[in-house]
Amino acid sequence: MARYSYHASHEQFTPSQLVTLSRMAERYRFDGVFCSDHLQPWAPAQGQSGHAWVWLGAALQATNHISFGTVTVPGGWRYHPVTLAQSVATLCDLFPGRLPWIALGSGEALNEVPMGGEWPSKETRDQRLIEGSAMVRRLLQGDTVISEGPISARRARIWVRPPQVPTLFGAAMTEATARQAGAWADGLLTLGRDLDKLRRIIDAFREGGGSGKPVHVKLDTCQGPSIEAARQEAHGQWRFACLPPHLHHELGFPMAFEAASASVQPQDMDGHVLLWSDPRALVEHTWSCLRLGVEWVSFHHVGSNQALFIQTLGSDVVPALRLRERRPNAL
C-alpha cells in the first residue's frame, strides 16, 4: 500500500501553525508529515522560515504516531554531516520509528550562501552530497569517521545510536541527478506534477542503480473554489516553481527569486502546480503517479487554506486512493 503525507511548508507558515496542522493531519489519518528545511523563504511575501530540526522535535512531541521526514543537505555550510547525523539519531532515540526517512540533496544557494563562502559548481555540490551522505550513513551505523576530503572529519563519532537507521533518499529534479542518486541512495525523492518528466526521472534512477528502491514524490497542488481561483492563488504563492531548476539552486536571496519570477503569468502555473476544485482530479493524478511505481506521495497545498485542504484530502482523496489500491476497479 502507498503512503500519503501532508507537506508542512516552513516557507509559508509559522512553526506553531505547522504543529497545529500536523496534529490535524494525524487526526485525518495521514501516514506522515514531510517538511522543508529552509533558512529563507522563496520570496519576501511568504515571510516564514522556521528551523526544521527544532520544529521536528516539537511536532513529534505534539503528535502521537504519525511519521515525519525532511529534505536536507549533508554537504553544505549550514550542517556538517556529523551535526546532521547527531540530530537524526537524537530524534530517532526520542521517537522510535517515527523518523523513518530523510532525503538528502546538493543544496540551494538560498539556504547556504548567507553562511558565507563562494557558491560552488553543480559538480562540486554533487561530490559533496555523495561524500556527506556516506558520512551520515556511516555515523548512523556507529562508525568512527576520518576524512581529509572537502568535508573533513577527525575521528568523528555520534554517541546516541538510532534504534534503526532511517532510509536515506536522494533528492533529484533532473534525470542526471536521479541517475547519480541510483548508485548511493536508498530511494528517490522528486516532484510529481509533470507525469512524463516523472517517468523519465524514475527510469534514470532505476538505470543508475535504483532498481527495486522506493520512490517518493512531492506533489505541489492548489485547491480552490474554481480552477481560475486556484491558479491565481498558486501564482501569488508559488510562481517560483516555474523557474528553471538551475535557478532554484543558484539564486541566493528571496528578492532574487521575486525579481526572476516577475514575468511569470498565472497560466504558467498549470504545468508546475496541479490546480483543482474537484477532489477527483487529485485522485486521478495521484493514481497515475502510483502506476509509475511511486510508493509515497507528499501533498503540498501552495495556497493559504491548509485546514480545508487537510480535511478534503483526509475525507475524500486519501480514502479514495486507499480503496482503489485494494480494489483497482472501484473508482
User: One-letter amino acid identity for 141?
Assistant: Q
**Which is nearest to 44 in space by CA: 73, 12, 75?**
12
Cβ(210)–Cβ(188) below 8 Å: yes
User: Could you give the C-alpha distances from 140 to 135, 195, 226, in angstroms and in order?
Assistant: 9, 35, 47
Q: Choosing from 11, 108, 131, 175, which is the catalytic residue?
A: 108
Residue 303 neighbours by CB under 8 Å, 6+ apart = 222, 223, 224, 230, 233, 234, 237, 309
Instruction: Give catalytic status of residue 108 as yes or no.
Output: yes
Cβ(217)–Cβ(296) below 8 Å: yes
Instruction: Give catalytic status of residue 207 as yes or no.
Output: no
Cβ(100)–Cβ(166) below 8 Å: yes
Query: Would you call 327 exposed, middle or buried from its count of C-beta atoms within 10 A (0-12, 13-18, 19+)?
Result: exposed
Q: Choosing from 10, 38, 249, 272, which is the catalytic residue?
A: 38
C-alpha span between 99 and 102 (Å, rounded): 8
Residue 131 neighbours by CB under 8 Å, 6+ apart = 75, 147, 149, 150, 151
Catalytic residue annotation: 38, 108
